[in-house]
Amino acid sequence: MSDPDSVDFGRRKVAADEKTRLVGGVFERVAHRYDLMNDLMSLGTHRLFKRMTVEMSGLREGQRVLDLAGGTGDMAALLEPIVGSSGKVVLADINPHMMAVGRDRLLDAGHAQVTFCQAAAESLPFADASFHCATIAFGLRNFTDKSAALAEIHRVLKPGAALLVLEFSKPENPTLKNAYGAFQALWPGMGRLVAGDAASYEYLVESIEQHPGQKALKVLLQDAGFTAVEYHNLLGGIAAIHRGVKS
């Protein structure tokens, strides 16, 4: 019988606190090559997907946005020009090594309006109704408790604010699914060559495999209290953008 308190870490079941530690180790090891590997694994398309996500945010100048699992700062760099100097971007991540890379990159690029916060999504250190929008780009599948995290995000959003989740998903065409699976099989080898770490990219493949599909994730958002939930497939469902609104 499975342990009701266990969670997925790739294909393994582990205790919740163990998953938090293991995921932290994964991103500590790959932080220095994270962006390069993203470009290689997505053939650069992740940058286009992130721009599409930001365009769906409805953000305006002067507003506050929370970028969760913000890591090396790609999303924050896109969000800051929209909210401007009178707005605020808070980049939150549980991993200090990823945030250190992000802080250096953003400061070097002149993005001085971004605030950094080391925090788990399941327990956010913000007051109720603090943000006009929240984003998560390729991070939700690594959260220890997705339902608790989504409920916390709902709590810190203002009424009418949107949550946008960009994440790997499930290709709907069997031929595409098989071809993409063959491409994913190359990632651990690429990780060994580029980042000196194959195991972390084996976990990445497994975490995508275990992550809820489009319809299941839509239900998770609805269960957390979001309304008008919709999703948009990208590249036939290899990735998807989910959007929900706090009523």
Q: What is the pLDDT of residue 3?
A: 53
Q: What is the pLDDT of residue 177?
A: 95
The angle that helices 96-108 and 74-83 make with each other, rounded to 10 degrees, is 50
Name the percent of the chain lying above pLDDT 70. Answer: 98
Q: What is the pLDDT of residue 113?
A: 84
pLDDT digits (tens, 9 = 90+) for 177-204: 999 999 999 999 998 988 888 888 898 8
Name the residue with higher pLDDT: 30 or 107: 107
Q: Give the integer Cα–Cα distance in Å for 97 and 71.
A: 8
Of the candidate CATH numbers 3.40.50.300, 3.30.70.580, 3.40.50.150, 3.20.20.70, the domain formed by 23-58+122-246 belongs to 3.40.50.150
pTM of the full structure: 0.90
Q: What is the pLDDT of residue 131?
A: 98
Domain segments of the chain as ranges:
23-58+122-246
Q: What is the pLDDT of residue 4?
A: 53
Strands 88-93 and 114-118 come out as parallel
Q: Give the integer Cα–Cα distance in Å for 178 and 181.
A: 5
Q: What is the pLDDT of residue 150?
A: 98
